[in-house]
Amino acid sequence: MAQNTRTVPAGTPTNVTQKHTKGGIGESTLRPDGTLKVTGEFAYSSDMWHEDMLWGQTLRSTVAHAEIVSIDISEALAMPGVYSVLTYDDLPAEMKNYGLEIQDTPVLAHGRVRHHGEPVALVAADHPETARRAAAKIKIEYKELPLVTDEASALAPGAPLIHEGRDDHHIGHVPHPNIVHRQPIIRGNVEEARKRADVIVEGEYTFGMQDQAFLGPESGLAVPSEDGGVELYVATQWLHSDLGQIAPVLGLPPEKVRMTLSGVGGAFGGREDISMQIHACLLALATNKPVKIVYNRFESFFGHVHRHPAKLYYEHGATKDGKLTHMKCKIVLDGGAYASASPAVVGNASSLSVGPYVLEDVDIEAIALYTNNPPCGAMRGFGAVQACFAYEAQMDKLAAKLGMDPVEFRQLNAMEMGTVMPTGQVVDAPAPVAELLRRVKARPLPPERQWETAGENADVRALPGGLSNTTHGESVVRGVGYAVGIKNVGFSEGFDDYSTARVRLEVINGEPVAMVHTAMAEVGQGGITVHAQIARTELGVTQVTIHPADTQVGSAGSTSASRQTYMTGGAVKNTCEAVREALLEIGRRKNGSYHPAWATAELLLEGGKVVTDGGEVLADIAEILEDEAIDLELEYRHHPTVPFDLVTGQGNGHVQYTFAAHRAVVEVDTELGLVKVVELATAQDVGKALNMLSVVGQIQGGTTQGLGVAIMEEIIVDPKTAKVRNPSFTDYLIPTILDTPTIPVDVLELADPKAPYGLRGMGEAPTLSSTPAVIAAIRQATGLDINKTPIRPEMLTGTL
Amino acid sequence: MRVNFTVNGRPQEADDVWEGESLLYVLRERMGLPGSKNACEQGECGSCTVRLDGVPVCSCLVAAGQVEGRDVVTVEGLAEFAKQRDEHGHGGACGTGGGCGSKGGVSLDEAKRWQSKPGDSQTGEGVELSNIQQAFIDAGAVQCGFCTPGLLVQADALLEENSSPSDQDIREALSGNLCRCTGYEKILDAVRLAAARQSEAV
Ligand code: FES
Ligand code: FES
């Protein structure tokens, strides 16, 4: 473009009145999708609608492990209103399986089902009820096979192999083909260190199978396109990962599968795996009509993977002055019938199994099993949650045995910056573990036993049993418990964990406007809010539009592992910086000769203007840009990590660590076995809060999910049949507003120098320590030794 | 079967309704009003809450045939419903036509003229919100937002009856609405905020 011909910016530079652009990082700006969500206009995946669309239905296995002898679809196909019935034989491509890391999950069962609820056949019909009835008419003959349901049955001599002829890259180092992955970590010398121990405690812990229980059901709409491809509108956590699994089984090149994120009603890890995506596409391609699939709640419990239930065996030692000497543990995770994210969960469980403590002598082993139980994979906290429950119970046991205060004991052993992890990795950013504990402890306790002080005026709704008016406080005891946890941020172990952002800056109606386009899944966490804040901060513009997330832009990676603000936020930041440079370059070209500051000063973009770091205005962004647009797409990577050594577990495997602490105050009705959590105080370090309102909301939400697993949440799998017994919100309980206490939150901001703005991924950490804190409080209240989640009334009343 | 009823002040007619269809299904799939959410379809989560002749109900548990001749308000009509209530000053359970006209609701004529307000469908800018809707946004009570429509309808009904609820009152009123994202604290904040603003406005 020719040297500019318009008037020179005002001769005398002026001071900027508004130093920072409003709505930038650090402010609690409101969600851009808030208005749509409160008016009911926000289009969630289950709200998709298309003229002439059909409804898809999945038929799922009623048994956990069986050979499929025959499938008869004729009656279903003959029903009026039914357009298509598909089974394994109708799959169009050579590739018939999918999976996050190991492609072991059949799109539709072939020859054999490996868990209760596995998809076997699909129906498309003109009314959802017709589709359901047709699916019920499909006749399947099963020949049941012996079950593998736990470590003993999986590893017994002659145990049936869940995946015969495995050829994945873990098979070479696992001791048995029913073990998905095994990660030992050996450091120091446990036998020697044990000799220094004055006390030793051992424990065996059981962690139940938790469900993500997001409210928005798995759903979406597939629309066949004219070029033989398909458009898919779906709720997911990672569009590009889905795409990479969908296209091969459809036999289509990736560019013929165009994906757009539709409204996501929560995820928590449960949307990392494929659910209805491929099924809807298959039906749409088979019928050449748009097909919508919406799971009901029952099916949702079969449609996604759950949190790994676990058995954890721990031994710790400590000296009488309270220093940890050694730790030995074995963690057995039940991965269920298919691999999903099990290998990565194993890596996390082992590498974070010591917790946020200094421990030089360790002997750790984590494994995940293949069984005929429901498949397990990603859920908020990802392997760190199960370990935290166990090591925090151990800390309380040690403190009790030493006669020490449990918080002081933890503080004495707390890791800090510079601590060496059991993997040999040095913690190179602030790790304020002792401080977080101090903060939750220092907070004033909630008023004692209100029914005694308030007398007649006591509100029985606040007692255990709540609204049901079960007590006036007669047998209610109170306890206080503490816990702290450590979680890694981002994808570890050498994974190429990048994110992409496209940013366009242009002038619309005389105003500079930035458009941010990423494939990041907004699942409720508030990513789109901070993307707009970042763009405002970096580009000094007020108006930012967020482009819908789709596969027309490069991958943003997964909305999981607490990584999105770090990674896609980092990508938006970097790309904005490049756009800013490009803009300044145009500015220099056009106006450089009019003011020396263009060449000499540090230039910033603020309030729609180019300013020097001294606050002098050089030009309007709009004037520089005129009708040009700057449009850049860049990738962003965090510093590299390496896989853990398969024998010693050594290696700089993690990107960043994040920490949270909890203090729980609970009241327990020991006659009825009912628990009321009175308060769940939280302290967390977030590095830098880009949006405090969202940060606090995430911490409270994560804390509540941890509370849920402590006192009510568990998918119950019948050990004799491996069938799920409680796939409904009537039987699988998640906390209501009555079960959830006040959650005061204390946020620390100790910057991590390597992270964008110094931030620390923070979505998962609060889920870790909330469970052990609640259970510690229940132990303290009742004096019972509880080593299991969730706590059930019969465990508290001695009627088990 | 055919079902005639009023939705957000507008007379509606649904044809070919299958006997087993729920009010939720009819609203979402036949009326094009997907604001009421389908999270459990079993009466456990409250995401589908609407007002039926003024009473908050789980629309997934109401058979479509049961609403013949009755009056339904969904989240899509909540702002207008609250506005009518404010303007007509009745604390009544019903702000629209249907069977409630005599109790101070809007006239059938007014009801027929009701239409959703235009606004920016991308950002929702320029849309008029009710007190409780604004409070949910301001307090940060919306994350994924799937529970939000049901909570809004329920919370609005609470504030209509009890203008200064205690925390326990709020907890009791909202105990049938599950939220998996927020931990409820900000939902409590939002209801407190709406109550405070409501009392300021009086
Ligand atoms: S969808 Fe109606 S109560 Fe859950
Ligand atoms: S369920 Fe997501 S905000 Fe309530």
Is pLDDT of A7 > 70? Answer: no
**pLDDT, chain B, mean:** 86
Task: Check pLDDT > 90 for residue A146.
Answer: yes
Shortest Cα distance, chain A CAs vs residue B185, angstroms? 6
Angle, CA A267 vertex, CA A265 and CA A273 arms, to 5°: 125
Q: Within an 8 Å CB–CB cutoff, is residue A28 touching chain B?
A: yes
Cβ separation B124–A36 shorter than 8 A: yes
The pLDDT, as a whole number, for residue B115 is 45
Q: Which residues numbered 706-725 in A keep a CB inside 8 Å of some CB on B?
A: none
Task: Mention every residue, 6+ apart, whose C-beta is less than 8 A from residue A191.
Answer: none
User: For A38-67, b where at least 16 C-beta lie within 10 A, e where not — what string?
Assistant: bbbbbebbbbbeeeebbbbbbbbbebbbbe
Residue A11's pLDDT band, with cuts at 50, 70 and 90, is: very low
Ligand 2 mean position to A40 CA, how many Å? 13
* Contact status of A469 with chain B (Cβ, < 8 Å): no
Task: Classify residue A228 as left (phi > 0), alpha (psi -120 to 50) or beta.
Answer: left
A-contacting residues in B 41-60 (Cβ below 8 Å): 41-42, 44-45, 47
Pocket probe mutation, ligand 1, options B42, B57, B147, max atoms within 8 Å of Cβ: B42
Range of weakest confidence among A125-129, A182-186, A245-249, A590-594 = A590-594
End-to-end alpha carbon distance in chain A? 81
Distance B28 CA to ligand 1 centre (A): 13
pLDDT attached to residue A466: 82
Report yes or no: A678 and A738 within 8 Å, Cβ to Cβ.
Answer: no
pTM above 0.80, yes or no: yes
DSSP annotation string for A595-619: -THHHHS-EEEETTEEEETTSBEEE
Dump pLDDT digits (tens) for A599-654: 999 999 999 999 999 999 999 999 999 999 999 999 999 999 999 999 999 999 99
Residue A450 confidence (pLDDT) above 80: no
pLDDT tens string B64-74: 999 999 999 99
What is the nearest CA distance from A266 to chain B, expressed in angstroms?
5
Is A729's pLDDT higher than 50?
yes
pLDDT per residue as tens digits for the range A279-317: 999 999 999 999 999 999 999 999 999 999 999 999 999
Of chain A, the percentage scoring pLDDT greater than 90 comes to: 92
B177 touches chain A (CB under 8 A): yes
Cα–Cα distances (Å) from A680 to A188, A665, A702, A773, A798, in that order, read: 37, 6, 12, 8, 26
Residue B4, beta-bridge partner list: B13
What end-to-end distance do the CA atoms of chain B give, in Å?
46
Comparison of pLDDT for B154 and B96, the residue scoring more: B154
Q: Is the pLDDT of residue B94 over 70?
A: no
Q: Kindly state whether A39 is in contact with chain B, defined as any CB-CB distance less than 8 angstroms.
A: yes
A22/B contact by beta carbon, under 8 A: no
pLDDT over 80 at A749, yes or no: yes
Q: Does position B91 have pLDDT exceeding 90, yes or no?
A: no
Ligand 2 binding pocket mutation candidate from B151, B181, B191 (most atoms within 8 A of CB): B181
Q: Which chain B residues touch A31 with a CB distance below 8 Å? A: 137, 140, 142
Q: What is the pLDDT of residues A193-251, one digit of tens each?
A: 999 999 999 999 999 999 999 999 999 999 999 999 999 999 999 999 999 999 999 99
For B107-132, the pLDDT digits (tens) are 444 444 444 444 444 455 667 899 99
- Give every CB contact of residue B127 below 8 A, 6+ residues apart in sequence: A35, A39, B79, B117, B119, B120
pLDDT in tens, A108-145: 999 999 999 999 999 999 999 999 999 999 999 999 99
**Chain B CB within 8 Å of residue A213 CB:** yes
Beta pairing, strands A511-517 & A498-508: antiparallel
Residue A18 has pLDDT above 50, yes or no: no
CB contact under 8 A, A42 and B175: no
The DSSP call for residue A741 is -
Task: Give the CA-trace dihedral at B18, B24, B28, B32, to 10 degrees.
Answer: 90
Helices (H) and strands (E) in chain B, counts: 7, 5
Ligand nearest to the CA of B25: 1
Residue nearest to atom 4 of ligand 2 (CA): B179
How far is A489 from A416, CA to CA, in rounded Å?
A: 17
A215: closest chain B residue by CA: B39
Chain B contact for A468, CB < 8 A?
no
CA distance A442 to A362: 32
Residue list, ligand 2 pocket, CB within 6 Å: A 215, 266, 524; B 143-147, 179-182
Q: Which helix (H) or strand (E) holds A664?
A: strand A656-669
> Residue A748: enclosing H or E segment and its boundaries?
strand A745-748
**Which residue on chain B is closest to A729 by alpha carbon?**
B44
Q: Touching check for A704 and chain B: CB below 8 Å?
A: yes
Cβ pair A164, A92 in contact under 8 A? no
Residue A455 banded pLDDT, cuts 50, 70, 90: confident
Tally: H helices and E strands in chain A? 20, 30
What local confidence, expressed as pLDDT, does residue B116 receive? Answer: 41
Q: Is the CB of B60 within 6 Å of ligand 1?
A: yes
Pocket mutation for ligand 2, best pick of B146, B177, B191 (most atoms within 8 Å of C-beta): B146
- CB pair distance less than 8 Å for A216 and B146: yes
Alpha helices in chain B (DSSP H): 23-25, 78-88, 108-113, 131-139, 148-161, 167-173, 185-201
Contacts of A226 (CB under 8 A, 6+ apart): none
Angstrom distance (rounded) from CA A381 to CA A384: 6
| Number of residues in chain B | 202
> Helix axis angle, A765-782 relative to A692-711, nearest 10°?
40
B12 at interface of A, judged by CB pairs closer than 8 A = no
Does the beta carbon of B20 lie under 8 angstroms from any beta carbon of chain A? Answer: yes
Model pLDDT, residue A56? 98
Tokens 């409270």 correspond to A700
For residues B41-62, average pLDDT: 97
Distances, alpha carbon A664 to alpha carbons A477, A478, A484, A701, A789, in Å: 14, 10, 11, 15, 16
Burial of A785 (0-12, 13-18, 19+ CB in 10 A): exposed
Q: Please tell me which residue of chain B has the smallest CA distance to A467.
A: B172
- Pick the residue from chain A with its C-alpha nearest to B144: A524
Provide the strand spans (E) within A178-302: 179-187, 199-207, 219-224, 230-234, 257-261, 291-294
Mean pLDDT computed over A31-48 = 96
Size of the A and B interface in Cβ pairs below 8 Å: 201
Residues in chain A: 800
- DSSP sequence for A102-124: S--EESS--SEE-STT-EEEEEE
CB contact under 8 A, B124 and A35: yes
CB of A167 within 8 A of CB of A177?
no
How far apart CA A573 and CA A108 sit, in angstroms, is 42
pLDDT at B202 (0 to 100)? 65
Report ipTM (2 d.p.): 0.95
How does pLDDT run across A24-36, given as a tens digit for each residue?
Answer: 999 999 999 999 9
Which residues 74-133 on chain A approach chain B with CB closer than 8 angstroms? 127, 129
Q: Return phi, psi of residue A181, to 5°.
A: -155, 150
Q: Looking at the CA of residue B41, tell me the nearest atom of ligand 1.
A: 1
From the CA of B151, how far away is ligand 2's center (Å)?
10
**A262 has a pLDDT exceeding 80:** yes
Nearest CA to CA, how far is B48 from chain A (Å)?
11
**Phi then psi for A533, rounded to 5 degrees?**
-65, -40
Whether chain B has a CB inside 8 Å of the CB on A613: the answer is no
Q: Is there a contact between A539 and A507 (Cβ–Cβ < 8 Å)?
A: no
Of A41, A216, A297, the CB nearest to B144: A216
Average pLDDT over residues B159-165: 96
- Chain A residues whose beta carbon lies within 8 Å of the beta carbon of residue B187: 737
Confidence class for position B19, pLDDT limits 50, 70, 90: confident
Tell me: pLDDT of A512 over 60.
yes
Q: Closest Cα to residue A281, out of A522, A140, A108?
A: A108
* Spatial distance between the Cα atoms of B77 and B83, rounded to a whole number of angstroms: 10
